[in-house]
Amino acid sequence: MGQDTVQGTVRHMGPGTAPDMGSGMTRTRRLAAVGAIALALAWTGSGCTVIVSGPNTVSDEGGGDPLTKPFQRMIAIPPQKTWGPNETIRGLQAAMAVYADDPSILPQYLTPAARAKWTAEGPVTVLEDQYEVVPPPPREDAETSLKAVLKGRWVARINEDDAYKPTTGKWEKTYELVKTPQGGYLVNDLPPGLLLTNADVLRSYRPTDLYYLNRGTRSRLVVDRVRLRLKTSESFAQTVLERLLKPPTEALRGAVTTSLPPSTKIESIGSSEERVVINLSGLLDRSAEDALSAQIRHSLNMNEIAKGRVIEVQLDGEEFTTDRPDAVDEWLDDSGDTAYYVNKGAVHYLGKDGPAGVVAGAAGEQRGGYSDFAVSKEHNGGEALVAARTSTGISVAWLRHDGRWQEVIPGTDLTPPTWHRDGSLWTYDRKKAALLRYDPVRGPALERIQAPNLADLDVTRLRIARDGVRVVVTTGKNTVQIGALIGEGTATTLGNFQLLTTTEVGDEIVDIAWGDDEHLLVLEESKAGQILNEINVGDGETTGVPLKDRLKSVAAVDGRILAESEGGTKVWELDQDRQTWTAKIEPEAGQPIFPLG
């Protein structure tokens, strides 16, 4: 049997269903089943009892209910006495792919000693689909034991908290195989955890957005992306909500909270065409029913579950809260989408069709020496603050007629200013290795925030996301990290740092900007030219944005992207087709700005 043989078959499954070959199948599904069986018989005739996956698969659409997610289930088979090392290792990998659904197959590939030690607990290793099993060299004792090497390219790791972490590089593992008296081989030592291919993950896992609460006022949801495995024993809605009852991933640990206490249990989930009913038990807080409703609604709807239906949450069978799809939702408020730009040091409004006037006060007056402007969320019925960096520090001014520039953070080597949604202004003092916060509303005192992970790093940029929790930091010229603000008030700490992306040696990060809660725009100067990527900070999924001119800066909010080009100093906007840039202002305009981000 050839090296590329797959030890298993793939079947489309709906959660809570079993493979169905009975009279309820549609004609299309019957034909697919016949094709799959024919392939199985063909391969059996070649001496390998293997059902091969392919385009002819049994399909089950799961009834079309968005509470479920149809998926493909691979059926693995035990090791065969006619198999050599190659088939055995590939069969072992297939058994790992189905382990969550059928844990009985994998132990049959292991010797008693290996079976006693192995556990599925631990991170899941994800490899590219095309991997190689290198056969062992000839040995005198090959009749009893030998070693085979599995080589592949590393794609990602799925941590035990369900976080998906992309990675790259070569991966290989040596397996000791023991010959059995009946023929065939067993694996004598297997490290903890599962080894899956990328196809396995695409087939059995779904990217899923969970929603928790930011700390403080708790008036804002924070998204946490995970990879959840689809289960035959429950609906996808059940899977999502069960995971929502658990703590967030490590990236947000200590930075967010929840309205669902640890005692909460899901008793049942029912649905009709117009309503989804979720019955919970536990010590739910009546004062947090709006937050609870928002967490559940967004965790279901953002994953295309229950969309457009009324969501009723019950407590022990009695109505607790009901959420209607047409209700006003402020739980993902981004605090304004007014666009601004800068012309000769003066801040202007940018309308949909071009310039829309200068802002009020000193910030609207032309002046030199001011750069890296940032605008806060609106305060006091519509007023906002603008901050800018000068040679001696960071100054702020209200965008109103009596607004005047005032230096509030002194320093000659500060990162560009960034606003928090609570109205505070932040920067990093590179000389003093200090993260600084200034709150113009609550008091004039300058606070130093603990950020121990940044002490020995060359911090070049720091920007707070609009959710008020995540923070992006660039270090040096080519590394981007994502952290989170942990705790509240004077106990706030910046931590939980994880690498998001890094460029090749010699390349450079030109600018970064938050697009929304999940996505960061990264403008990179590479040897081949400029690259603009939109990266999901939860799982590293990256989408390239086509460029026309060379850019100096970017700004974004809710899918709208503005940029400043080098040539002619124009402000551009990316059309909704994500392919075309339209000139908004030319010339002598620059640095487009949205509030926060």
Q: Cα(241)–Cα(151) distance, rounded to whole angstroms? A: 37
Instruction: Give me the domains of the chain, ranges plus CATH numbers.
Output: 9-204 (no CATH), 209-323 (no CATH), 350-356+408-593 (2.120.10.30)
Give the pLDDT of residue 567. 75
pLDDT in tens, 310-366: 999 999 999 999 988 777 788 988 788 899 999 999 999 999 888 899 999 999 999
Q: 393: burial class by Cβ within 10 Å (0-12, 13-18, 19+)?
A: middle
User: Given this model, what pLDDT does residue 304 score?
Assistant: 87
Whether the Cβ atoms of residue 472 and residue 500 lie closer than 8 Å to each other: yes
| Residue-level pLDDT at 139 | 60
Please report the pLDDT score of residue 502 as a whole number.
92
Say which residue the tokens 């489309």 belong to. 12
**Residue ranges in the chain modelled with pLDDT below 70:** 1-66, 70-71, 138-143, 217-218, 380-381, 444, 568-569
Q: Give the Cα separation of 272 and 344 in Å (integer).
A: 59
Q: What is d(CA 108, CA 88) in angstroms, rounded to the nearest whole number?
A: 11
Span 194-248, pLDDT tens digits: 999 999 999 999 999 999 999 876 689 999 999 999 988 889 999 999 999 999 9
The predicted pLDDT at position 218 comes to 62
> Hunting for tokens 């649905």 — which residue is that?
271
pLDDT at 501: 94
Q: Which pLDDT belongs to residue 41?
A: 26
Q: What pLDDT does 71 receive? A: 64
Reported residue count of the chain is 597
pLDDT, residue 524, reads 96
Mapping DSSP to helix (H, G, I), strand (E, B) and coil, where does residue 268 land?
A: strand
- 344 to 365, 372, 383, 562: CA distances (angstroms): 9, 13, 23, 19
Q: Which two tokens stand for residue 114?
A: 């290996």
- Can you give the pLDDT at residue 57? 28
Dihedral, CA of residue 289, residue 539, residue 467 and residue 510, to nearest 10: -170
SS3 413: coil
Give the whole-angstrom CA distance, residue 521 versus residue 502.
13
Q: What is the pLDDT of residue 559?
A: 87
Beta strands, E only, 399-433? 406-410, 418-419, 425-429
Task: Find all residues with CB under 8 Å of 462, minimum gap 6, and list them.
Answer: 415, 418, 426, 427, 428, 435, 471, 472, 473, 474
Residues 227 and 205 sit within 8 Å (Cβ to Cβ): yes
Question: Sheet of 205-214: strands edge to edge?
Answer: 221-229, 205-214, 256-257
Q: What is the 3-state secondary structure (H, E, C) of 442-474?
A: CEEEEEEEECHHHCCCCEEEEEECCCCCEEEEE
3-state secondary structure 534-561: EEECCCCCEEEECCCCCEEEEEEECCEE
Q: What do you get for the CA distance between the two ends of the chain, in Å?
A: 56
Residue range 272-321, pLDDT digits in tens: 889 999 999 999 999 999 999 999 999 999 888 987 899 999 999 999 99
Angstrom distance (rounded) from CA 416 to CA 373:
8
